[in-house]
A and B are shown apart, each in its own frame.
Chain A
């Protein structure tokens, strides 16, 4: 069955970087894109961007351009999301989700990774 397993919680200081991993299993990794979504405490869902493991194409949310990098390692079926120059308002739970193509639904989600940014 399809599973997305994310790395553990992180605590970072303002200005630092964080890299969250998302290991996929139960399907052909290169046949589906991976979308990253974050959720600030008590808030709604925010789309961060999408990556195609097939060809490495990416599409980032405009507000995160320049601070976010999404990548994949097809040898381990793992997707990564790196966010730089962290601020306190980046504190959130970060989710990866499987998505065939950008207009399609997010059909399987990881369990989430809490990233706390605090001095």
Chain B
């Protein structure tokens, strides 16, 4: 049972847009920055979004992040088959004094 709640799966057609939600509480998302990680099949996770909506160098602007209250959202536009991956949200939980992750959302580009 993950501290952060994500939908197990999302899907959309190539070229379309998809959003992935991440729900938490005041002890984590509500008072800390959110990051998003992309894990392609068989590889290590990779930082996609940090500080709610910032992209590391090299991450295309098709990927975006936002936060409102105790929820965060990852958006991906212009979907490509290469975007098929598991996506995880993560943040610090001040009550648990631990880094917490969502359970992951598997993106299928149909």
* Beta-carbon contact of A44 and B103 below 8 Å: yes
* Beta-carbon contact of B56 and A102 below 8 Å: no
* Beta-carbon contact of B47 and A105 below 8 Å: yes
Docked CA distance A108–B44 (Å)? 10
Known: A97-B45, A105-B47, A105-B50; 17 extra A-B contacts, CB below 8 A, are: A44-B102, A45-B88, A45-B90, A45-B104, A47-B100, A47-B101, A50-B99, A102-B92, A104-B33, A105-B51, A106-B35, A106-B37, A106-B99, A107-B50, A109-B45, A110-B44, A112-B44
14 residue pairs bridging A and B, Cβ less than 8 Å apart: A44-B101, A44-B103, A45-B88, A45-B101, A46-B101, A47-B101, A95-B44, A102-B92, A105-B33, A106-B45, A107-B47, A107-B50, A109-B46, A111-B44
**Interface set of B (CB-CB < 8 Å, partner A):** 2, 32-33, 35, 37, 44-47, 50-51, 56, 88, 90, 92, 96-104
